[in-house]
């Protein structure tokens, strides 16, 4: 790179920053490297052109990131939907098993559970109490 045509360190820095920015964003997005030549007679216009190129590159990065985030949000929404469906199914299954179990089986099962599981209403106020069911053996 020849920096002899630039009279001030600022012009050299702007040129180097431009080349780095455009090269970085182009390689990030897989595009072609855009080269802008600066000359002393139009350094003000060149700075504006550089700013415009940097802004365009930043817009490309922003658009790419927004697209990626939207895709990820859709994937997560689908996972949430699947998990809610599975949770609902497991709650129905649990309720059915509780209704079919004998009081002795329930007592034996509950004696094996930790205290946090047995008394969830203490941890989250307003939680519904477990449904009571009539005795009878499913066996």
Percent of the chain with pLDDT over 70: 51
Q: Over the stretch 114-129, which tens digit does the pLDDT of each residue have?
A: 766 656 555 544 444 4
Mean pLDDT of 18-23: 63
Query: Is residue 135 within 8 Å of residue 103, measured between CB atoms?
Result: yes
For the chain, the domains span 58-111
Separation of alpha carbons 119 and 95, rounded Å:
17
pLDDT of residue 7: 63
Residue 137 has pLDDT above 50, yes or no: no
pTM of the model: 0.44
Q: Which band of pLDDT confidence, cut at 50, 70 and 90, is reported for residue 106? A: confident
Q: What is the DSSP string of 50-116?
A: HHHHHHHHHHHHHHHHHHHHHHHHHHHHHHHHHHHHHHHHHHHHHHHHHHHS-HHHHHHHHHHS-HH
């Amino acid at each position: 790179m020849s920096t002899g045509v630039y009279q001030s360190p600022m012009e050299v820095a702007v040129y180097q920053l431009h080349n780095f920015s455009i090269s970085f964003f182009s390689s990030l997005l897989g595009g072609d490297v855009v080269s802008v030549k600066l000359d002393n007679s139009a350094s003000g216009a060149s700075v504006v052109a550089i700013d415009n190129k940097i802004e365009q590159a930043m817009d490309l990065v922003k658009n790419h990131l927004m697209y990626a985030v939207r895709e990820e949000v859709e994937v997560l929404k689908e996972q949430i939907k699947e998990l809610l469906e599975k949770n609902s199914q497991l709650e129905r299954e649990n309720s059915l098993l509780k209704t079919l179990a004998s009081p002795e089986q329930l007592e034996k099962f509950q004696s094996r559970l930790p205290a946090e599981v047995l008394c969830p209403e203490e941890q989250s106020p307003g939680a519904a109490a477990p449904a009571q069911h009539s005795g009878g053996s499913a066996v």
